[in-house]
Amino acid sequence: MNSVTHPVFPERIMALLDGELSAAEARVVSTHLDTCAECAHLAERLRTTSQLLSAWRIPDIPGTVEESVADLVDKTRSGLKTGLAALPLRLSRLTWGRRAILGAVAVLLVALTLALQTLSIFRHAEVSAYRAGSPQDQVEENRGSIGKLSRPLNERQLPVSGRQITKLNELVTATSPGVAADSNGLYHGLGDHAESSISVDGQPLTDQQSKIFTSLIQAPMIARTVSFSIVVKDFAASRSSLDAILARHHAYPAQLGVSTPENAPRSLQASLRFPAPELTSALRDLRTLGRVENESQGGEEVTRQHVDLAIRLKNARDTEQRFRSILQRHTGNVVEVLQVEEGIARVRSDIERMEAEQTTLEHRVDFATIDLQLTEEYKAPLNPPAASVSTRMHNAFVAGYHNASETVIGIVLFLEEYGPAILIWLIIFVLPAILVWRRYQRKIAAV
Amino acid sequence: MNGKPVNFDLERPATAETDEQLMVAFSRGSTDAFGQLFLRYKQPLFGFFRRRVADPAQAEELTQDTFFAVVRSSSRYEPRALFRTYLYAIAYKIFRAYRRKTALRATFFGAETGSRAPALQSPSDAELWLRQAVAKLERLDREILLLREFEQLSYAEIADLLQLPLNTVRSRLFRARMALRDLLATPAPKSSPTKLAEREEYV
């Protein structure tokens, strides 16, 4: 059957029998069927096939379906929520959209839980950091963020460096409320008062430490550090202002460096030491230098270190004194005298080292450190074009060639480096996947 | 609205309303309208699944699922196409999901895909012969043939349902009919119904 002898395609004969042709097309095909025996035979074959298929009868549907559907319609009519609520929750019945929504909700819940935990940890860290010795400035800055937590602490109004606190209770961290010194005025770390012990930095005090602590310490010793990053418009003027600020507050630069690169903004990096009582006003002055990009403050409580150092120093001095007494009162052979003198020398060395440490520690407390970075607002100069258009095009072509060759080399290197591994993984995963896919196709064809 | 349980009055004479009108009425709360639709389509829909699924109980469940889907989505129904097309689109979607699920289960767990029907009915030799012949057709050709011959969908509706070009539907349908004619040219086997049932290949 071809289009020369049969101007009507066989599909059109089938379409005529199925009633899929327009009236005009149907007339043409019908006319051809009247004159062509072969096409008429084809039409007869198609009709016969359909008639044969009509013998495929299906038994009546069981009545249980009607009952189930009627039950569902009844629930719908009664206003009960249909769908998931009316049917058992089966994931296979959910659409992909609903599955996606359920998944998104689950992910959201997990993220929310994690966020709440993180927030809780953050708050705990803030409060801990505060209890470790937040200075007054920090109290004021954190008032908004910590809210209620900061208020009771803020009310104490701890002086930063005056060491004028009269109540020792305010210097220590009580693990339970209502802790006070015993009848002798001593704070016990363990023993009779173990259940309501007090501590510095979370460590219990011994009786000896407590006694010395009481006699030596009048205020918390906090070594303060501030980090500033400021962008200034006029670098030279800001530099002069900085010098003036240093002079006004009796401060000094521990380290200072200026960088003036070409075609780049100038910058200054300095580590400045300000007397602790001057810190608040110095910070205020420094903020006027320009736009503060970054500012962070910190305070390290060194009270315990200082107390420990004082105790060790006192013990060392006592030891030295005892050595000297022995040397004065007792005479022995030369070896014994030399041993005592060696002991005195060793203890003296320790005393001097500890005195230096103590001085440094007190200096850190007396002088706050400000790490300052001043950066100039960069204004690009208007320079003439560096090169001609042809030169720039040539350079661009060369750069493009280099980039292309580097890319090709990179791909080759990547394949050399990872190709064998990728091949192994492909063999491991793809072959079983193909087998599973073929099996799946066979099974789906059998359904 | 009252608390009286719904009971589809299957003895009630069919109304002259179109399927689309009935569906719109159902979406507005008329249970009787759905009863009429159920009356009209319960058997064709069961036939749709029964010709494609080996297990009659499974075909029954899929029929039920299709009506459930129609009830659930009734509030969103818009009469943009024939209800018949809408209904068979849902049925075909449910059938495809069932086929995927069954094939996956069979792939990984080795379950039976062509589970044999319990011998509740004993189909005639001619019917089994037809089923065997149809089962030998290519899957897509078979689907087009069944949709045309039994669901009486137009070429355009089939093309829309199967996401195929109209010409593809026409040529595949022709090919399926020719192939089936050749398959049916051999005489029907003379075996007993029991033996035939053992060899039965459901579509």
User: What pLDDT was estimated at residue B17?
Assistant: 83
**CA-CA distance, A221 to A161, in Å (whole number)?**
7
Find tokens 């006070």 and name the residue. Answer: A180
Residues of B in contact with A439 (CB under 8 A): 107
Determine how many CB atoms are found less than 10 A away from the CB of residue B64. Answer: 23
User: What pLDDT was estimated at residue B147?
Assistant: 94
The whole-chain average pLDDT of chain A stands at 76
Q: A392-408: per-residue pLDDT in tens? A: 899 999 999 999 999 99
Q: Does B111 touch chain A (CB under 8 A)?
A: no
- B66 confidence band (pLDDT: 50, 70, 90): very high
Window 75-94 of B: residues touching A by CB (8 A cutoff) are none
Is pLDDT at B194 greater than 70 in this prediction? no
Mean pLDDT computed over A197-210 = 52
- A330 confidence band (pLDDT: 50, 70, 90): confident
Higher per-residue pLDDT: A374 or B119: A374
* DSSP secondary structure, chain B, as one string: --SPPP---TTSPPPS--HHHHHHHHHTT-HHHHHHHHHHHHHHHHHHHHTT-S-HHHHHHHHHHHHHHHHHTGGG---SS-HHHHHHHHHHHHHHHHHHHHHHHHHHH---SSPPPPTTS---HHHHHHHHHHHTS-HHHHHHHHHHHTS---HHHHHHHHT--HHHHHHHHHHHHHHHHHHHHSPPP---HHHHHHH----
Is pLDDT at B201 greater than 50 in this prediction? no
Contacts of A37 (CB under 8 A, 6+ apart): none
Is pLDDT at A190 greater than 60 in this prediction? no
Length of chain B: 203
Q: A82-104: per-residue pLDDT in tens? A: 444 444 445 555 667 777 888 88
Residues of B in contact with A443 (CB under 8 A): 102-104, 106-107, 113
**Inter-chain touch B174–A11, beta carbons under 8 Å:** yes
Is pLDDT at A79 greater than 80 in this prediction? no
Domain ranges, ordered by start, for chain A:
10-53, 131-216, 221-383, 388-447
User: What pLDDT was estimated at residue A218?
Assistant: 56
Nearest to B106 among A53, A71, A443 (CB): A443
Examine the predicted complex and report whether its ipTM is higher than 0.85: no
φ, ψ dihedrals at B186, nearest 5°: -75, 145
**Inter-chain touch B51–A56, beta carbons under 8 Å:** yes
**Inter-chain touch A55–B130, beta carbons under 8 Å:** yes
- Going by their DSSP bridges, the two strands A291-301 and A222-232 should be labelled as antiparallel
Nearest to B6 among A49, A54, A73 (CB): A73
**Inter-chain touch B130–A60, beta carbons under 8 Å:** no
Tell me the nearest-neighbour CA distance from B179 into chain A, angstroms.
10
Sign of the CA dihedral running A68, A74, A80, A81: positive
Q: Which two tokens stand for residue B163?
A: 């996401």
Is pLDDT at A287 greater than 50 in this prediction? yes
Window 37-76 of B: residues touching A by CB (8 A cutoff) are 38, 42-43, 46-47, 50-51, 53, 56, 60, 63-65, 67-68, 71-72, 74
Share of chain B above pLDDT 90, in %: 33
Q: B136-181: per-residue pLDDT in tens? A: 899 899 999 999 999 989 999 999 999 999 999 999 999 999 999 8
Is pLDDT at B113 greater than 50 in this prediction? yes
Tell me the nearest-neighbour CA distance from A14 into chain B, angstroms.
7
Q: Tell me the whole-structure pTM to 2 decimals.
A: 0.47
Residues of B in contact with A61 (CB under 8 A): 42-43, 46, 60, 63
Length of chain A: 447
Tell me the nearest-neighbour CA distance from A37 into chain B, angstroms.
18
* DSSP secondary structure, A392-432, as one string: HHHHHHHHHHHHHHHHHHHHHHHHHHHHHHHHHHHHHHHHH
Is pLDDT at A9 greater than 50 in this prediction? yes
Please tell me which residue of chain A has the smallest CA distance to B115. Answer: A447
Higher per-residue pLDDT: A67 or A112: A112
**CA-CA distance, A337 to B140, in Å (whole number)?**
112
Which stretch, A174-183, A353-362, A397-406, A422-431, has highest mean pLDDT?
A: A397-406
Among A56, A68, A75, pick the best mutation site for testing chain B contact (most B Cβ within 10 A). A56
**Inter-chain touch B47–A58, beta carbons under 8 Å:** yes
Q: A132-183: per-residue pLDDT in tens? A: 444 444 434 444 433 333 333 333 333 333 343 333 334 344 333 434 444 4
**CA-CA distance, A273 to A127, in Å (whole number)?**
28
User: What pLDDT was estimated at residue B55?
Assistant: 84
Determine how many CB atoms are found less than 10 A away from the CB of residue A190. Answer: 11
Tell me the nearest-neighbour CA distance from A69 into chain B, angstroms.
7
- Sheet with A198-200: strands ordered across: A173-174, A198-200, A203-204
Residues of A in contact with B106 (CB under 8 A): 443, 446
Mean pLDDT computed over B117-139 = 71
- A67 confidence band (pLDDT: 50, 70, 90): confident
Nearest to A66 among B8, B29, B174 (CB): B8
> How big is the CA angle at B163 (ends B58 and B38), to the nearest 5 degrees?
40
**Inter-chain touch B107–A48, beta carbons under 8 Å:** no
User: What pLDDT was estimated at residue A197?
Assistant: 42
Is pLDDT at A367 greater than 60 in this prediction? yes
Torsion angle defined by CA atoms of residues B19, B22, B24 and B25, in that order, rounded to the nearest 10 degrees: 180
- The answer to whether the CB of A160 falls within 8 A of the CB of A279 is yes
Residue in B49, B54, B48 with CA at minimum distance from that of residue B201: B54
- The answer to whether the CB of A187 falls within 8 A of the CB of A167 is no
Over its C-alpha atoms, chain B yields an Rg (Å, rounded) of: 19
- The answer to whether the CB of B159 falls within 8 A of the CB of B172 is no
User: What pLDDT was estimated at residue A51?
Assistant: 87
**CA-CA distance, A350 to A284, in Å (whole number)?**
42
**Inter-chain touch A76–B1, beta carbons under 8 Å:** no
- The answer to whether the CB of B20 falls within 8 A of the CB of B79 is yes
The number of C-alpha atoms within 13 Å of A168 and in the hemisphere containing its C-beta is 18
Q: A79's torsion region: left (phi>0), alpha (psi -120 to 50) or beta? A: left
Which stretch, A66-70, A153-157, A294-298, has highest mean pLDDT?
A: A294-298
**Inter-chain touch A68–B173, beta carbons under 8 Å:** no
Q: Does B102 touch chain A (CB under 8 A)?
A: yes
Determine how many CB atoms are found less than 10 A away from the CB of residue B107. Answer: 20
Burial grade of A256 (CB within 10 A; 0-12, 13-18, 19 or more)? middle
Q: Does B33 touch chain A (CB under 8 A)?
A: no
Tell me the nearest-neighbour CA distance from B16 into chain A, angstroms.
22
Mean pLDDT computed over A383-400 = 86
Is pLDDT at A129 greater than 90 in this prediction? no
Helix/strand/coil for A34: helix
Contacts of B18 (CB under 8 A, 6+ apart): B83
User: What pLDDT was estimated at residue B46?
Assistant: 92
**Inter-chain touch B42–A61, beta carbons under 8 Å:** yes
User: What pLDDT was estimated at residue A199?
Assistant: 47
B13-118 belongs to CATH 1.10.1740.10: yes
**CA-CA distance, A165 to A170, in Å (whole number)?**
8
> How big is the CA angle at B202 (ends B197 and B203), to the nearest 5 degrees?
160
User: What pLDDT was estimated at residue B62?
Assistant: 94
Q: Does B8 touch chain A (CB under 8 A)?
A: yes
Q: Which two tokens stand for residue B124?
A: 């005639």
- The answer to whether the CB of A176 falls within 8 A of the CB of A193 is no
Weakest mean pLDDT among A34-48, A149-163, A348-362, A410-424? A149-163
State the amino acid at position B116 in one-letter form.
R
φ, ψ dihedrals at A250, nearest 5°: 55, 40
Please tell me which residue of chain A has the smallest CA distance to B73. Answer: A83
Alpha helices in A63-221 (DSSP H): 63-77, 96-131, 136-146, 150-154, 207-216
Tell me the nearest-neighbour CA distance from A94 into chain B, angstroms.
11
Residue in A82, A90, A101 with CA at minimum distance from that of residue B76: A82
**CA-CA distance, A54 to A363, in Å (whole number)?**
105
**Inter-chain touch B130–A14, beta carbons under 8 Å:** no
Nearest to B177 among A49, A76, A446 (CB): A49
Under DSSP, the state recorded for A3 is T
Class of domain B119-203: mainly alpha
Q: Does B3 touch chain A (CB under 8 A)?
A: yes
Helix/strand/coil for A310: helix
Under DSSP, the state recorded for A176 is S
- Going by their DSSP bridges, the two strands A222-232 and A367-376 should be labelled as parallel
Under DSSP, the state recorded for A270 is E
Q: Does B30 touch chain A (CB under 8 A)?
A: no
Please tell me which residue of chain A has the smallest CA distance to B93. Answer: A95
Under DSSP, the state recorded for A277 is G
